[in-house]
Amino acid sequence: MTDSAWVLRSLLFVPGHRRDMIAKAAAAGADAIILDLEDGVAPAEKAAARRTVAAALDGPLPEHLVVFVRVNSTGSGLLDADLREAAGARMNGVCLPKCDTPADVQAVAARLLTVEDRLGRPRGRLRILALVETARGVLQAPAIARESPRVWGVVFGAEDFTADAGLPRTREGGELAAARTEVGLAAHAAGVEAIDGIFADFRDEPGLVADTAAARRLGYTGKTVIHPAQIAPVHRVLAPAEDEIAKARRIVDAFAQAEAAGSGIVVVDGAMVDRPVAVRAQRVLARAGGAGA
Ligand code: COA
Ligand code: MG
């Protein structure tokens, strides 16, 4: 599966030092896993986590599973060792935390050339998932998202963002609205995916569903999760509903017929359909076809 065909609704974080959890994560049904070397791993565990992640990346992982490694930030002093010791054959890209400026993207993009050479992989294929999770990062999100063709998506990290910006963190997430909107727009303007941050209370399924629906309304197509129980609800919310798919199909068909007959406008279910409506419907069908493929 090439990276342009990825439809990643769920991206499951798993602590990099937990071999047992990595095996469970790989089998949990998420579209992607993110092997964590950063906030989920204590300083004393970093070296062991790199070894465990490297072994997992050279071992058997489901073929369809997309695998990212969350390295430590460019300012951490840990990034070079992360890439040198943890990168492995099965890695599709890195998740870059505390991504504050386009220079952070450049720093990682340049290092990925070395990783690709060492792994004997074609240059330019390892992707970057830029984790925007500070006030600075949010304001720079448009430039971050378009900085490199390696950037596959931008993740809005609500937990670190609220800590950094001095905001409360509520279940309803009203405090996130402005930044989440901005990061989602930045991703779409750059033509990359908008991925939502985690919902920490993993026993609160209604809360997760509401949070995911709020992200979807802002154009987010995927969500990071921390627990296997969060995968199915996220897939349900982010997948187009049956009636939505059926309607999209009616719109696309009717618009194609109208265009063939020389018209740019047609009425479907009592409402006007012109090009933007048809484009939206095509995107719904593309997601419906790609999900779980
Ligand atoms: N990946 C793989 N397996 C996971 C998992 C994950 N992210 N989260 C939980 N599991 C497994 C548990 O190991 C457990 O397996 P078992 O039944 O074989 O023992 C099962 O799912 C049920 O877990 P549960 O007992 O409900 O939760 P917990 O108390 O063990 O773990 C967390 C809760 C939050 C500590 C755990 O989900 C976790 O570490 N998540 C990732 C956190 C992270 O990466 N944070 C940094 C990024 S934001
Ligand atoms: Mg963090």
- pLDDT 10s digits, 127-142: 999 999 999 999 999 9
> Residue of the nearest CA to atom 46 in ligand 1?
40
**What atom of ligand 1 comes closest to residue 40's alpha carbon?**
46
| CA of residue 175 to ligand 1 center, whole Å | 27
Measuring CA to CA, which residue among 156, 126, 290 is closest to residue 223? 156
- pTM exceeds cut of 0.75: yes
Q: Which whole number is the average pLDDT over 34-62?
A: 97
Query: Quick one: pLDDT at residue 290?
Result: 61
Q: Which whole number is the average pLDDT over 165-175?
A: 94
Q: Which whole number is the average pLDDT over 236-247?
A: 92
Give the number of whichever ligand sits closest to the CA of residue 99: 2
Measuring CA to CA, which residue among 124, 114, 126 is closest to residue 67? 126
| CA of residue 246 to ligand 2 center, whole Å | 39
State how far the Cα of 139 lies from the Cα of 100, in Å rounded to an integer. Answer: 9
Name the token pair of 19.
């071999």
Q: Which whole number is the average pLDDT over 112-118?
A: 97
| CA of residue 159 to ligand 2 center, whole Å | 7
Q: Which residues line ligand 1 (CB under 6 A)?
A: 12-15, 21, 24-25, 36, 39-40, 198, 202, 226-228
State how far the Cα of 122 lies from the Cα of 12, in Å rounded to an integer. Answer: 26
Give the number of whichever ligand sits closest to the CA of residue 40: 1
Q: Which whole number is the average pLDDT over 194-204?
A: 97
Given ligand 1 and candidates 35, 45, 223, 227, which is best to mutate, with the most ligand atoms within 8 Å of its CB?
A: 227
State how far the Cα of 44 lies from the Cα of 46, in Å rounded to an integer. Answer: 6
Measuring CA to CA, which residue among 96, 99, 98, 90 is closest to residue 60? 90
Give the relative orientation of helices 46-58 and 79-86 as an angle to the nearest 10 degrees.
30
Radius of gyration of the chain (CA): 20
State how far the Cα of 164 lies from the Cα of 49, in Å rounded to an integer. Answer: 26
The rounded percent of the chain whose pLDDT value lies above 90 is: 93
Query: Quick one: pLDDT at residue 293?
Result: 35
State how far the Cα of 213 lies from the Cα of 237, in Å rounded to an integer. Answer: 6
Give the number of whichever ligand sits closest to the CA of residue 131: 2
3-state secondary structure of 206: helix
State how far the Cα of 173 lies from the Cα of 191, in Å rounded to an integer. Answer: 26
pLDDT range class, residue 1, cuts 50, 70, 90 = low
pLDDT range class, residue 292, cuts 50, 70, 90 = very low
